[in-house]
Amino acid sequence: MGTDNEALYRAQVADLRKALEIGKAYLPVELLKQGYESLGAIEKRLNLGVGHTIVALAGGTGSGKSSTFNAISGLEFADVGVRRPTTARLAACTWSSDATELLDWLEVDSDRRISRDTALDGEDQAALNGMILLDLPDHDSVAEQHRRIVDKVLPLVDVLIWIVDPQKYADEALHAGYLRSLVGSEASMIVALNQIDTIPSGGQSAISTDLKRLLGLDGLDAVEVREISAKQGTGIAALREDLRKAVARRTMASRRLEDELTKLARTISRHVPASVETKLDGSLRAETDRYLVAAGVPAIADEISEHTAQGGVAGEPPAVKAPSLTALAGLRGRWIERITINMREPFAKAVAAATGSAQDLHDELSKAATEIPIPWGRPNGISRTPIIVSAIASALCVALGLLALTGVIFTVILGVVLVAVGIVLGGMTMGLDRSYRARLRRAGRARAEEFRESAADAFGKALTTALFQPIQGVLDEHDRISALAFGVQNPPGRAYEKSDSDEQEFAESRG
Protein backbone atom coordinates (compact mmCIF):
# COMPACT_ATOMS: atom_id res chain seq x y z
CA MET A 1 0.00 0.00 0.00
CA GLY A 2 1.37 3.39 -0.95
CA THR A 3 2.09 6.30 1.34
CA ASP A 4 -0.94 8.21 0.05
CA ASN A 5 -3.29 5.34 0.95
CA GLU A 6 -1.72 4.96 4.36
CA ALA A 7 -2.14 8.68 5.01
CA LEU A 8 -5.77 8.44 3.91
CA TYR A 9 -6.49 5.49 6.21
CA ARG A 10 -4.84 7.18 9.16
CA ALA A 11 -6.97 10.27 8.51
CA GLN A 12 -10.09 8.09 8.30
CA VAL A 13 -9.20 6.35 11.56
CA ALA A 14 -8.85 9.78 13.17
CA ASP A 15 -12.21 10.89 11.73
CA LEU A 16 -14.02 7.78 12.98
CA ARG A 17 -12.38 8.06 16.38
CA LYS A 18 -13.58 11.67 16.51
CA ALA A 19 -17.08 10.55 15.50
CA LEU A 20 -17.11 8.01 18.33
CA GLU A 21 -15.87 10.62 20.80
CA ILE A 22 -18.61 13.06 19.79
CA GLY A 23 -21.15 10.25 19.85
CA LYS A 24 -20.36 8.92 23.33
CA ALA A 25 -23.64 10.30 24.66
CA TYR A 26 -25.69 9.00 21.74
CA LEU A 27 -24.22 5.83 20.22
CA PRO A 28 -24.84 2.33 21.69
CA VAL A 29 -22.26 1.21 24.22
CA GLU A 30 -21.54 -1.96 22.25
CA LEU A 31 -20.93 0.04 19.08
CA LEU A 32 -18.53 2.35 20.93
CA LYS A 33 -16.70 -0.61 22.46
CA GLN A 34 -16.37 -2.57 19.22
CA GLY A 35 -15.63 0.59 17.26
CA TYR A 36 -12.70 1.57 19.45
CA GLU A 37 -11.39 -2.00 19.34
CA SER A 38 -11.59 -2.11 15.56
CA LEU A 39 -9.88 1.26 15.16
CA GLY A 40 -7.18 0.14 17.57
CA ALA A 41 -6.58 -2.98 15.51
CA ILE A 42 -6.45 -1.00 12.27
CA GLU A 43 -4.00 1.50 13.76
CA LYS A 44 -1.88 -1.39 15.00
CA ARG A 45 -1.88 -2.92 11.54
CA LEU A 46 -0.84 0.40 10.02
CA ASN A 47 1.92 0.76 12.59
CA LEU A 48 3.14 -2.78 11.96
CA GLY A 49 3.21 -2.13 8.25
CA VAL A 50 1.03 -3.44 5.46
CA GLY A 51 3.75 -4.96 3.32
CA HIS A 52 2.51 -8.41 4.32
CA THR A 53 -0.49 -10.20 2.91
CA ILE A 54 -2.20 -11.90 5.85
CA VAL A 55 -4.21 -14.99 4.93
CA ALA A 56 -6.26 -16.69 7.64
CA LEU A 57 -7.88 -20.10 7.61
CA ALA A 58 -11.04 -20.05 9.71
CA GLY A 59 -13.51 -22.78 10.41
CA GLY A 60 -15.11 -25.06 12.94
CA THR A 61 -13.92 -28.16 14.71
CA GLY A 62 -13.14 -30.97 12.30
CA SER A 63 -13.50 -28.85 9.17
CA GLY A 64 -9.92 -29.55 8.12
CA LYS A 65 -8.27 -26.16 8.62
CA SER A 66 -5.00 -27.61 9.77
CA SER A 67 -4.90 -30.10 6.91
CA THR A 68 -5.53 -27.24 4.50
CA PHE A 69 -2.80 -25.21 6.22
CA ASN A 70 -0.34 -28.05 5.65
CA ALA A 71 -1.50 -28.56 2.05
CA ILE A 72 -1.04 -24.89 1.15
CA SER A 73 2.30 -24.52 2.91
CA GLY A 74 3.58 -27.89 1.71
CA LEU A 75 4.78 -28.60 5.25
CA GLU A 76 3.53 -30.99 7.90
CA PHE A 77 3.52 -28.34 10.60
CA ALA A 78 -0.05 -27.98 11.93
CA ASP A 79 -1.32 -30.92 14.00
CA VAL A 80 -4.21 -32.75 12.41
CA GLY A 81 -6.44 -35.68 13.01
CA VAL A 82 -6.81 -37.57 16.27
CA ARG A 83 -3.62 -36.06 17.69
CA ARG A 84 -5.32 -32.71 18.11
CA PRO A 85 -8.95 -32.60 17.01
CA THR A 86 -9.35 -28.96 18.11
CA THR A 87 -7.15 -26.05 17.02
CA ALA A 88 -6.39 -24.28 20.30
CA ARG A 89 -3.53 -21.95 19.35
CA LEU A 90 -2.65 -19.81 16.37
CA ALA A 91 -0.15 -21.30 13.96
CA ALA A 92 1.66 -19.26 11.31
CA CYS A 93 3.66 -19.99 8.20
CA THR A 94 5.46 -16.95 6.80
CA TRP A 95 6.88 -16.31 3.37
CA SER A 96 8.63 -13.30 4.89
CA SER A 97 11.59 -12.81 7.19
CA ASP A 98 10.46 -9.55 8.83
CA ALA A 99 7.12 -10.55 10.31
CA THR A 100 8.31 -11.05 13.88
CA GLU A 101 6.70 -7.92 15.33
CA LEU A 102 3.39 -8.64 13.65
CA LEU A 103 3.39 -12.27 14.84
CA ASP A 104 4.26 -11.11 18.35
CA TRP A 105 1.29 -8.78 18.39
CA LEU A 106 -0.95 -11.56 17.04
CA GLU A 107 0.25 -13.63 20.00
CA VAL A 108 1.53 -16.46 17.84
CA ASP A 109 3.75 -18.54 20.13
CA SER A 110 7.31 -18.95 18.92
CA ASP A 111 6.90 -22.72 18.68
CA ARG A 112 3.85 -22.21 16.43
CA ARG A 113 5.77 -20.30 13.73
CA ILE A 114 7.59 -21.55 10.69
CA SER A 115 9.24 -19.64 7.86
CA ARG A 116 8.76 -21.02 4.36
CA ASP A 117 11.90 -19.15 3.27
CA THR A 118 14.01 -21.76 5.04
CA ALA A 119 12.54 -24.68 3.15
CA LEU A 120 14.66 -26.33 0.49
CA ASP A 121 12.28 -25.30 -2.27
CA GLY A 122 12.09 -21.69 -1.06
CA GLU A 123 12.81 -20.31 -4.54
CA ASP A 124 9.69 -22.02 -5.82
CA GLN A 125 7.74 -20.09 -3.24
CA ALA A 126 8.84 -16.67 -4.52
CA ALA A 127 5.36 -15.93 -5.88
CA LEU A 128 4.03 -15.97 -2.30
CA ASN A 129 6.76 -13.76 -0.86
CA GLY A 130 5.33 -11.50 1.84
CA MET A 131 2.41 -13.81 2.69
CA ILE A 132 1.60 -14.89 6.24
CA LEU A 133 -0.68 -17.94 6.53
CA LEU A 134 -2.56 -18.30 9.83
CA ASP A 135 -4.37 -21.33 11.18
CA LEU A 136 -6.98 -19.83 13.53
CA PRO A 137 -8.52 -21.56 16.55
CA ASP A 138 -11.87 -23.20 15.86
CA HIS A 139 -14.60 -20.56 15.84
CA ASP A 140 -17.08 -22.97 17.45
CA SER A 141 -14.81 -23.85 20.35
CA VAL A 142 -16.37 -23.49 23.78
CA ALA A 143 -13.19 -21.83 25.05
CA GLU A 144 -13.69 -18.06 25.30
CA GLN A 145 -9.97 -17.52 24.68
CA HIS A 146 -10.27 -19.16 21.26
CA ARG A 147 -13.15 -16.90 20.31
CA ARG A 148 -11.21 -13.86 21.52
CA ILE A 149 -8.24 -14.72 19.30
CA VAL A 150 -10.48 -15.19 16.26
CA ASP A 151 -12.23 -11.85 16.86
CA LYS A 152 -8.90 -10.08 17.33
CA VAL A 153 -7.33 -11.44 14.15
CA LEU A 154 -10.24 -11.13 11.72
CA PRO A 155 -10.10 -7.31 11.33
CA LEU A 156 -6.44 -7.57 10.30
CA VAL A 157 -6.82 -10.32 7.73
CA ASP A 158 -6.34 -9.48 4.04
CA VAL A 159 -7.64 -12.77 2.65
CA LEU A 160 -10.04 -14.83 4.73
CA ILE A 161 -10.59 -18.48 3.77
CA TRP A 162 -13.48 -20.18 5.51
CA ILE A 163 -13.05 -23.94 5.58
CA VAL A 164 -16.37 -25.77 5.80
CA ASP A 165 -17.11 -29.46 5.66
CA PRO A 166 -20.05 -31.41 4.18
CA GLN A 167 -21.51 -32.10 7.62
CA LYS A 168 -21.54 -28.58 9.12
CA TYR A 169 -21.48 -26.17 6.16
CA ALA A 170 -25.04 -25.06 7.02
CA ASP A 171 -24.32 -24.50 10.73
CA GLU A 172 -26.29 -21.45 11.88
CA ALA A 173 -23.51 -20.46 14.30
CA LEU A 174 -21.20 -20.05 11.31
CA HIS A 175 -23.64 -18.11 9.16
CA ALA A 176 -25.25 -15.94 11.85
CA GLY A 177 -22.17 -15.54 14.02
CA TYR A 178 -19.63 -14.71 11.32
CA LEU A 179 -20.45 -14.91 7.62
CA ARG A 180 -23.41 -12.51 7.60
CA SER A 181 -21.29 -9.92 9.35
CA LEU A 182 -18.81 -9.91 6.48
CA VAL A 183 -21.10 -8.50 3.81
CA GLY A 184 -19.06 -5.96 1.90
CA SER A 185 -15.84 -7.96 2.23
CA GLU A 186 -16.59 -10.52 -0.47
CA ALA A 187 -13.59 -9.49 -2.58
CA SER A 188 -11.22 -10.63 0.17
CA MET A 189 -13.03 -13.86 1.06
CA ILE A 190 -12.99 -17.45 -0.17
CA VAL A 191 -15.18 -20.28 1.08
CA ALA A 192 -13.56 -23.70 0.65
CA LEU A 193 -15.78 -26.78 0.81
CA ASN A 194 -13.34 -29.35 2.18
CA GLN A 195 -13.50 -33.15 2.36
CA ILE A 196 -15.23 -33.48 -0.98
CA ASP A 197 -13.59 -36.90 -1.24
CA THR A 198 -16.00 -38.06 1.49
CA ILE A 199 -19.10 -37.05 -0.49
CA PRO A 200 -20.75 -39.89 -2.43
CA SER A 201 -20.49 -39.72 -6.20
CA GLY A 202 -22.94 -37.20 -7.65
CA GLY A 203 -23.49 -35.44 -4.34
CA GLN A 204 -20.70 -32.88 -4.61
CA SER A 205 -22.63 -30.65 -6.97
CA ALA A 206 -25.77 -30.69 -4.78
CA ILE A 207 -23.88 -29.73 -1.62
CA SER A 208 -21.86 -27.05 -3.42
CA THR A 209 -25.06 -25.60 -4.89
CA ASP A 210 -26.74 -25.56 -1.48
CA LEU A 211 -23.68 -23.86 0.07
CA LYS A 212 -23.85 -21.14 -2.57
CA ARG A 213 -27.57 -20.74 -1.88
CA LEU A 214 -26.91 -20.22 1.84
CA LEU A 215 -24.15 -17.71 1.09
CA GLY A 216 -26.60 -15.84 -1.12
CA LEU A 217 -29.06 -15.67 1.77
CA ASP A 218 -26.22 -14.28 3.89
CA GLY A 219 -25.72 -11.52 1.31
CA LEU A 220 -22.45 -13.05 0.07
CA ASP A 221 -23.40 -13.96 -3.50
CA ALA A 222 -20.07 -12.75 -4.87
CA VAL A 223 -17.89 -14.92 -2.63
CA GLU A 224 -15.76 -17.47 -4.48
CA VAL A 225 -16.48 -21.09 -3.52
CA ARG A 226 -13.72 -23.71 -3.96
CA GLU A 227 -14.20 -27.47 -3.71
CA ILE A 228 -11.13 -29.05 -2.14
CA SER A 229 -9.80 -32.12 -0.42
CA ALA A 230 -6.85 -31.13 1.74
CA LYS A 231 -6.19 -34.81 2.42
CA GLN A 232 -5.89 -35.77 -1.26
CA GLY A 233 -4.69 -32.40 -2.55
CA THR A 234 -7.73 -31.81 -4.76
CA GLY A 235 -8.28 -28.11 -5.48
CA ILE A 236 -5.22 -26.99 -3.48
CA ALA A 237 -3.37 -25.80 -6.60
CA ALA A 238 -6.32 -23.54 -7.49
CA LEU A 239 -6.43 -22.22 -3.94
CA ARG A 240 -2.69 -21.45 -4.02
CA GLU A 241 -3.22 -19.65 -7.33
CA ASP A 242 -5.88 -17.47 -5.65
CA LEU A 243 -3.34 -16.58 -2.97
CA ARG A 244 -0.61 -15.92 -5.52
CA LYS A 245 -2.89 -13.42 -7.26
CA ALA A 246 -3.72 -11.78 -3.95
CA VAL A 247 -0.04 -11.39 -3.10
CA ALA A 248 0.72 -10.12 -6.61
CA ARG A 249 -1.96 -7.44 -6.37
CA ARG A 250 -0.67 -6.19 -3.03
CA THR A 251 -3.98 -4.36 -2.66
CA MET A 252 -5.66 -6.89 -0.41
CA ALA A 253 -4.31 -5.28 2.74
CA SER A 254 -5.54 -1.91 1.56
CA ARG A 255 -8.92 -3.34 0.59
CA ARG A 256 -9.34 -5.08 3.93
CA LEU A 257 -8.55 -1.93 5.88
CA GLU A 258 -10.95 -0.03 3.64
CA ASP A 259 -13.66 -2.63 4.26
CA GLU A 260 -13.25 -2.38 8.03
CA LEU A 261 -13.29 1.41 8.01
CA THR A 262 -16.26 1.56 5.66
CA LYS A 263 -18.20 -1.00 7.69
CA LEU A 264 -17.75 0.99 10.89
CA ALA A 265 -18.59 4.26 9.10
CA ARG A 266 -21.78 2.77 7.65
CA THR A 267 -22.88 1.49 11.03
CA ILE A 268 -22.27 4.89 12.63
CA SER A 269 -24.27 6.46 9.79
CA ARG A 270 -27.26 4.31 10.75
CA HIS A 271 -27.42 6.23 14.01
CA VAL A 272 -27.20 9.67 12.35
CA PRO A 273 -29.55 9.47 9.34
CA ALA A 274 -29.04 12.09 6.66
CA SER A 275 -32.82 12.67 6.67
CA VAL A 276 -32.55 14.50 10.01
CA GLU A 277 -32.83 18.27 9.52
CA THR A 278 -30.02 19.92 11.48
CA LYS A 279 -30.28 23.42 9.99
CA LEU A 280 -33.37 25.05 11.48
CA ASP A 281 -33.22 28.54 9.99
CA GLY A 282 -35.55 27.61 7.17
CA SER A 283 -38.26 26.33 9.53
CA LEU A 284 -38.30 29.30 11.92
CA ARG A 285 -41.01 31.29 10.11
CA ALA A 286 -43.34 28.31 9.76
CA GLU A 287 -42.94 27.54 13.47
CA THR A 288 -43.38 31.20 14.40
CA ASP A 289 -46.65 31.34 12.45
CA ARG A 290 -48.08 28.57 14.64
CA TYR A 291 -47.39 30.57 17.78
CA LEU A 292 -48.76 33.75 16.19
CA VAL A 293 -52.04 31.97 15.53
CA ALA A 294 -52.12 30.62 19.10
CA ALA A 295 -51.59 34.18 20.39
CA GLY A 296 -54.43 35.55 18.24
CA VAL A 297 -52.14 37.78 16.18
CA PRO A 298 -54.05 37.25 12.88
CA ALA A 299 -57.30 38.38 14.57
CA ILE A 300 -55.56 41.46 16.01
CA ALA A 301 -54.14 42.24 12.57
CA ASP A 302 -57.66 42.10 11.13
CA GLU A 303 -58.87 44.42 13.91
CA ILE A 304 -56.10 46.91 13.13
CA SER A 305 -56.95 46.78 9.43
CA GLU A 306 -60.69 47.35 10.05
CA HIS A 307 -60.07 50.09 12.60
CA THR A 308 -57.86 51.97 10.17
CA ALA A 309 -60.32 51.49 7.29
CA GLN A 310 -62.98 53.16 9.46
CA GLY A 311 -60.77 56.21 9.91
CA GLY A 312 -59.01 55.18 13.12
CA VAL A 313 -61.00 57.53 15.32
CA ALA A 314 -62.48 55.33 18.05
CA GLY A 315 -61.69 52.37 20.33
CA GLU A 316 -58.77 51.23 22.49
CA PRO A 317 -55.85 49.40 20.89
CA PRO A 318 -55.76 45.61 21.43
CA ALA A 319 -52.91 43.93 23.35
CA VAL A 320 -50.83 40.95 22.30
CA LYS A 321 -50.47 38.22 24.91
CA ALA A 322 -48.49 34.98 24.97
CA PRO A 323 -50.54 31.79 24.44
CA SER A 324 -51.62 29.89 27.54
CA LEU A 325 -49.26 27.39 29.17
CA THR A 326 -51.52 24.57 28.04
CA ALA A 327 -51.37 25.73 24.43
CA LEU A 328 -47.61 26.21 24.64
CA ALA A 329 -47.10 22.73 26.06
CA GLY A 330 -48.94 21.27 23.06
CA LEU A 331 -47.04 23.43 20.56
CA ARG A 332 -43.72 22.53 22.17
CA GLY A 333 -44.49 18.80 22.11
CA ARG A 334 -45.51 18.81 18.46
CA TRP A 335 -42.38 20.82 17.57
CA ILE A 336 -40.16 18.26 19.26
CA GLU A 337 -41.94 15.50 17.33
CA ARG A 338 -41.29 17.26 14.02
CA ILE A 339 -37.63 17.91 14.80
CA THR A 340 -36.92 14.37 16.02
CA ILE A 341 -39.10 12.39 13.61
CA ASN A 342 -36.11 10.74 11.89
CA MET A 343 -33.71 10.79 14.85
CA ARG A 344 -32.53 7.76 16.75
CA GLU A 345 -33.80 7.68 20.34
CA PRO A 346 -30.69 8.98 22.18
CA PHE A 347 -30.56 12.10 20.01
CA ALA A 348 -34.32 12.58 20.31
CA LYS A 349 -34.11 12.40 24.10
CA ALA A 350 -31.26 14.90 24.12
CA VAL A 351 -33.30 17.32 22.00
CA ALA A 352 -36.34 16.96 24.27
CA ALA A 353 -34.19 17.55 27.37
CA ALA A 354 -32.48 20.62 25.90
CA THR A 355 -35.66 22.29 24.63
CA GLY A 356 -37.03 25.12 26.76
CA SER A 357 -40.08 24.27 28.90
CA ALA A 358 -43.58 25.61 28.33
CA GLN A 359 -42.90 28.12 31.11
CA ASP A 360 -39.69 29.22 29.38
CA LEU A 361 -41.69 29.75 26.20
CA HIS A 362 -44.36 31.70 28.05
CA ASP A 363 -41.78 33.98 29.66
CA GLU A 364 -39.98 34.71 26.39
CA LEU A 365 -43.19 35.25 24.40
CA SER A 366 -44.70 37.47 27.11
CA LYS A 367 -41.61 39.65 27.00
CA ALA A 368 -41.73 39.71 23.20
CA ALA A 369 -45.43 40.67 23.21
CA THR A 370 -44.76 43.86 25.13
CA GLU A 371 -42.27 44.95 22.47
CA ILE A 372 -44.65 44.62 19.53
CA PRO A 373 -45.90 48.07 18.37
CA ILE A 374 -49.66 48.34 17.72
CA PRO A 375 -50.38 50.81 14.86
CA TRP A 376 -53.60 52.51 16.02
CA GLY A 377 -55.54 55.73 15.50
CA ARG A 378 -55.91 57.99 12.46
CA PRO A 379 -53.24 57.27 9.85
CA ASN A 380 -50.91 60.15 8.99
CA GLY A 381 -51.22 61.84 5.58
CA ILE A 382 -54.84 60.89 4.99
CA SER A 383 -57.33 63.76 5.63
CA ARG A 384 -61.07 64.40 5.02
CA THR A 385 -60.56 68.18 4.59
CA PRO A 386 -60.63 68.18 0.77
CA ILE A 387 -63.87 66.20 0.86
CA ILE A 388 -65.48 68.63 3.31
CA VAL A 389 -64.37 71.69 1.33
CA SER A 390 -65.62 70.17 -1.90
CA ALA A 391 -68.97 69.21 -0.31
CA ILE A 392 -69.49 72.73 1.09
CA ALA A 393 -68.61 74.35 -2.22
CA SER A 394 -70.96 72.01 -4.07
CA ALA A 395 -73.85 72.72 -1.68
CA LEU A 396 -73.25 76.49 -1.81
CA CYS A 397 -73.23 76.59 -5.61
CA VAL A 398 -76.41 74.56 -5.88
CA ALA A 399 -78.17 76.72 -3.27
CA LEU A 400 -77.17 80.02 -4.96
CA GLY A 401 -78.13 78.63 -8.33
CA LEU A 402 -81.60 77.68 -7.12
CA LEU A 403 -82.09 81.14 -5.67
CA ALA A 404 -81.08 82.69 -8.97
CA LEU A 405 -83.52 80.50 -10.89
CA THR A 406 -86.38 81.63 -8.66
CA GLY A 407 -85.48 85.29 -9.30
CA VAL A 408 -84.42 86.01 -5.78
CA ILE A 409 -80.87 86.92 -6.70
CA PHE A 410 -78.77 87.08 -9.79
CA THR A 411 -79.97 86.25 -13.24
CA VAL A 412 -81.46 82.99 -14.46
CA ILE A 413 -78.43 82.31 -16.63
CA LEU A 414 -76.06 82.68 -13.69
CA GLY A 415 -78.33 80.41 -11.66
CA VAL A 416 -78.05 77.66 -14.29
CA VAL A 417 -74.25 77.99 -14.23
CA LEU A 418 -74.12 77.86 -10.44
CA VAL A 419 -76.30 74.72 -10.31
CA ALA A 420 -74.12 73.03 -12.94
CA VAL A 421 -70.96 73.91 -11.04
CA GLY A 422 -72.53 72.58 -7.83
CA ILE A 423 -73.40 69.29 -9.51
CA VAL A 424 -69.83 68.92 -10.83
CA LEU A 425 -68.41 69.67 -7.40
CA GLY A 426 -70.78 67.08 -5.91
CA GLY A 427 -69.38 64.44 -8.27
CA MET A 428 -65.87 65.47 -7.28
CA THR A 429 -66.85 65.13 -3.63
CA MET A 430 -68.04 61.55 -4.17
CA GLY A 431 -64.83 60.72 -6.02
CA LEU A 432 -62.74 62.22 -3.24
CA ASP A 433 -64.69 60.20 -0.69
CA ARG A 434 -64.13 56.93 -2.58
CA SER A 435 -60.43 57.73 -2.89
CA TYR A 436 -60.27 58.57 0.81
CA ARG A 437 -61.88 55.30 1.83
CA ALA A 438 -59.65 53.31 -0.55
CA ARG A 439 -56.56 54.97 0.96
CA LEU A 440 -57.81 54.06 4.44
CA ARG A 441 -58.27 50.43 3.40
CA ARG A 442 -54.77 50.33 1.91
CA ALA A 443 -53.39 51.93 5.02
CA GLY A 444 -55.25 49.36 7.11
CA ARG A 445 -53.78 46.47 5.13
CA ALA A 446 -50.29 48.01 5.35
CA ARG A 447 -50.67 48.51 9.09
CA ALA A 448 -51.88 44.95 9.56
CA GLU A 449 -48.92 43.60 7.56
CA GLU A 450 -46.51 45.80 9.47
CA PHE A 451 -47.98 44.51 12.72
CA ARG A 452 -47.78 40.88 11.59
CA GLU A 453 -44.12 41.30 10.61
CA SER A 454 -43.28 42.99 13.88
CA ALA A 455 -45.04 40.23 15.79
CA ALA A 456 -43.32 37.54 13.72
CA ASP A 457 -39.93 39.13 14.32
CA ALA A 458 -40.50 39.42 18.07
CA PHE A 459 -41.95 35.89 18.42
CA GLY A 460 -39.22 34.49 16.15
CA LYS A 461 -36.53 35.85 18.43
CA ALA A 462 -38.32 34.45 21.46
CA LEU A 463 -38.61 31.00 19.87
CA THR A 464 -34.97 31.09 18.83
CA THR A 465 -34.03 31.73 22.46
CA ALA A 466 -36.37 29.17 24.02
CA LEU A 467 -36.48 26.42 21.34
CA PHE A 468 -33.89 26.65 18.62
CA GLN A 469 -30.70 27.74 20.35
CA PRO A 470 -30.85 25.22 23.23
CA ILE A 471 -30.89 22.22 20.87
CA GLN A 472 -28.49 23.49 18.23
CA GLY A 473 -25.55 21.90 20.03
CA VAL A 474 -27.18 18.46 19.77
CA LEU A 475 -27.98 19.02 16.10
CA ASP A 476 -24.44 20.19 15.41
CA GLU A 477 -23.06 17.01 17.00
CA HIS A 478 -25.49 14.91 14.94
CA ASP A 479 -24.37 16.74 11.81
CA ARG A 480 -20.68 16.39 12.67
CA ILE A 481 -20.89 12.65 13.33
CA SER A 482 -22.83 12.17 10.10
CA ALA A 483 -20.31 14.19 8.08
CA LEU A 484 -17.32 12.30 9.51
CA ALA A 485 -18.88 8.90 8.81
CA PHE A 486 -20.02 9.94 5.33
CA GLY A 487 -16.55 11.25 4.51
CA VAL A 488 -14.98 7.88 5.32
CA GLN A 489 -17.49 6.09 3.09
CA ASN A 490 -16.96 8.57 0.27
CA PRO A 491 -13.31 9.62 0.09
CA PRO A 492 -12.20 11.80 -2.84
CA GLY A 493 -12.26 9.88 -6.09
CA ARG A 494 -14.74 7.21 -4.99
CA ALA A 495 -18.43 7.41 -5.85
CA TYR A 496 -20.95 6.79 -3.11
CA GLU A 497 -22.40 3.30 -3.14
CA LYS A 498 -25.11 2.14 -0.78
CA SER A 499 -24.49 -1.32 0.60
CA ASP A 500 -26.78 -3.85 2.18
CA SER A 501 -24.48 -3.70 5.19
CA ASP A 502 -25.77 -0.17 5.84
CA GLU A 503 -28.54 -1.89 7.78
CA GLN A 504 -26.27 -3.93 10.07
CA GLU A 505 -25.21 -3.03 13.55
CA PHE A 506 -21.43 -2.90 13.84
CA ALA A 507 -21.58 -4.76 17.12
CA GLU A 508 -23.49 -7.54 15.36
CA SER A 509 -21.07 -7.47 12.45
CA ARG A 510 -18.26 -8.29 14.85
CA GLY A 511 -20.05 -11.43 16.00
Average pLDDT over all residues of the chain: 84
pLDDT > 90? residue 313: no
Whether the Cβ atoms of residue 211 and residue 225 lie closer than 8 Å to each other:
yes
Residues 325 and 362: their CA atoms lie apart, in Å, by: 7
Rounded-to-10 torsion of CA 93, 98, 104, 109? 40
Alpha helices (H) in 24-94, listed in sequence order: 29-48, 65-73
Three-state SS for 330-373 is HHHHHHHHHHHCCCCHHHHHHHHHHCCCHHHHHHHHHHHHHCCC
Q: What is the pLDDT of residue 79?
A: 54
Mean pLDDT value across residues 425-441: 83
* Mean pLDDT, residues 399-404: 81
Sequence letter at residue 301 = A
Rounded Cα distance between 135 and 153, Å, is 11
Eight-class DSSP state of 138 = P
Q: Over the stretch 41-65, which tens digit does the pLDDT of each residue have?
A: 888 878 876 667 889 998 888 888 8
Q: Which homologous superfamily is 52-249 in? A: P-loop containing nucleotide triphosphate hydrolases (3.40.50.300)
Question: Residue 154: is it exposed, middle or buried by C-beta count within 10 angstroms (0-12/13-18/19+)?
Answer: buried
Tell me the pLDDT band of 85, cut-offs 50, 70 and 90.
very low
Please state the domain extents for the chain.
52-249
Q: What share of the chain in percent tops pLDDT 90?
A: 39
Position 303 scores a pLDDT of: 93
Distance of CA 54 to the CA centre of its chain: 33
The per-residue pLDDT for range 250-273, each reduced to its tens digit, is 556 677 788 889 999 999 999 999
| Residue 284: C-alpha distances to residues 101, 275, 324, 372 (Å) | 58, 18, 21, 18
pTM for the model stands at 0.63
